[in-house]
Chain A
Amino acid sequence: MPEISNSPRTINFRVRRYNPETVSVPRWQIYEVPVHKGMTVLEGLHYIKDHLDSTLAWRYSCRMGTCGSCGMLLNGRPSLACNTQVLDIAEENLTVAPLPNFVIIRDLVPDLCSMFEKHSFVRPYILRANEEEINDPTGEFYQSPEQLENYVQFAFCIKCGCCMAACPTLATDARYLGPMPLTAGQRYNADTRDEGRRERNLLTGAPAGVFRCHYAGECSHVCPKGVDPAKALQLLKRHLVLDYLGLGGRTIPPEKLQGPGQGERQADVPVAPKKTVEPGHN
């Protein structure tokens, strides 16, 4: 990739505008934004709002790629605005549009409710037969690092919606659950503390569920956190098929620890220092 110059230059931000109170269809508006090396798209949008057009609306929060608020279509690719440097993707013109496959509320603000409803639908939380244990735990469930690695990748999802915007099935199918909810389903299915796999199978294996995925791979292509939803969905399909064929196998219940000091200490973990305060004392 050619060396990016340090001197500031002007990039044309071609932004998709939509105000439901004044227009019925979105239109494009071009802003000339001075851009320096390292400047993110989010900073560019702030420049527009501060100096050129205070009516521009978009979502943002953490500005460091962890909250998932600023997902938008940048030069045709769903990305986080805070995580994308302007000069990495544009030389003269940058197209900024709201995430596709979501209803637009205004300008660059998509209505993510449909995604969150689909997320709730797959019951994305630990399901156990003994509900009292969840509400009033009597101990801690032990989980080895190997067991954690089976699902932790899918737990890094920040619900930004980029995968949903990139998915070709969601382009035409409003009812498809989508990569994010199904990845959340697989995240809990693979968690050894969860006992709800068979219950979740009825939801994820439904007509508009995981079998509408055809491995176009765009979700993993655009995910800003390396969650790899495409992999999660194929693993989910595998387990659905194994369960259907009766080869699913029983979930091994995790070991419950009743307090500190239990469980096998690994050889390279040092012993904890002596307590300086006994419980019950101020």
Chain B
Amino acid sequence: MKGTKYWTWHMAAGLVLLFLLGLHMLIMHTGGFARWFAPHGDAADSPVNSLFRDSKLFFTVTYVLMLVAALYHGFYGLRTMLLELTLKPVTEKTITVVLLIVGLGLCGLGTWAALTAHAIALAGARG
């Protein structure tokens, strides 16, 4: 049932991403809606607006959630495509391990960045 387990989580991650990435796209690409999440000036991705969002726990948590979901969904999809090429079992195992390591590494990097940025933003907010 391992295949079923990984695929079910792939679908669940896709559903989670639909909402979180959709929200992310709305924030980054639409001015009016973004006012709630980008109160300083027009550009939602300006450093000051980025810092504003980084200071909110809601964003730190959702960034990490989005990171985990997107990495799992994306790397599982890539692994599926690669494993359909009738490779030797050793090669398949290597691909799985490499993708796992790279995925965990990127997850670690992104989580560290989100937490650090949150701390910096809070420290900056306190003055």
A and B part of one assembly: yes
Partner-B contacts on A (CB < 8 A): 169, 172-176, 201-202, 205-207, 209, 211-212, 237, 240-241, 243-245
| List of B residues within 8 angstroms of A206 by Cβ | 3
Known A-B contacts A211-B7, A244-B8; the reply to A172 vs B86 at CB < 8 A is: yes
Which of the candidate stretches B31-39, B44-52, B77-85 sits at the interface with the other chain?
Answer: B77-85
27 A–B contact pairs at CB < 8 A? A169-B84, A172-B84, A172-B86, A173-B83, A173-B86, A174-B86, A201-B1, A202-B1, A205-B2, A205-B3, A205-B4, A207-B2, A207-B3, A207-B83, A211-B3, A211-B4, A211-B6, A211-B7, A211-B80, A212-B84, A237-B7, A240-B1, A240-B4, A241-B4, A243-B1, A244-B8, A245-B8
B126 at the interface (CB under 8 A from A): no
| List of A residues within 8 angstroms of B5 by Cβ | 244
Assembly CA distance A208 to B11 (angstroms): 18
Assembly CA distance A237 to B3 (angstroms): 11
B78–chain A nearest beta-carbon distance, Å: 14
Question: Which residue of A is nearest B10, CB measured?
Answer: A211
| List of A residues within 8 angstroms of B83 by Cβ | 173, 207
Assembly CA distance A206 to B5 (angstroms): 10
10 more CB-based (< 8 A) A-B contacts, given A207-B83, A237-B7: A173-B84, A174-B86, A201-B1, A206-B3, A209-B3, A211-B3, A211-B80, A212-B84, A244-B1, A244-B5
Assembly CA distance A208 to B6 (angstroms): 13
Q: Which of B1-29 contact A (CB under 8 A)?
A: 1-8, 11
Assembly CA distance A211 to B8 (angstroms): 10
Question: Which residue of B is nearest A212, CB measured?
Answer: B84
Contact B3 A241 (CB under 8 A): no
Assembly CA distance A207 to B79 (angstroms): 12
Contact A241 B8 (CB under 8 A): yes
A86–chain B nearest beta-carbon distance, Å: 35
Contact B4 A212 (CB under 8 A): no
| List of A residues within 8 angstroms of B85 by Cβ | 172-173
B103–chain A nearest beta-carbon distance, Å: 18
| List of A residues within 8 angstroms of B80 by Cβ | 211-212
A242–chain B nearest beta-carbon distance, Å: 10
Assembly CA distance A277 to B107 (angstroms): 80
Assembly CA distance A206 to B2 (angstroms): 7
Assembly CA distance A183 to B86 (angstroms): 22
Assembly CA distance A1 to B85 (angstroms): 40
| List of B residues within 8 angstroms of A169 by Cβ | 84
| List of B residues within 8 angstroms of A175 by Cβ | 86
Contact A205 B86 (CB under 8 A): no
B71–chain A nearest beta-carbon distance, Å: 19
Q: Which 8 A-B pairs have the closest CB atoms?
A: A173-B84, A205-B4, A211-B7, A244-B4, A174-B86, A240-B4, A205-B3, A211-B3
| List of A residues within 8 angstroms of B11 by Cβ | 241
| List of A residues within 8 angstroms of B1 by Cβ | 201-202, 205, 240, 243-244
B81–chain A nearest beta-carbon distance, Å: 9
B46–chain A nearest beta-carbon distance, Å: 40
Assembly CA distance A211 to B80 (angstroms): 9
| List of A residues within 8 angstroms of B2 by Cβ | 205, 207
Assembly CA distance A244 to B83 (angstroms): 23
Assembly CA distance A83 to B84 (angstroms): 32
Assembly CA distance A172 to B3 (angstroms): 19
B62–chain A nearest beta-carbon distance, Å: 25
Contact A201 B86 (CB under 8 A): no
Assembly CA distance A224 to B11 (angstroms): 32
| List of B residues within 8 angstroms of A202 by Cβ | 1
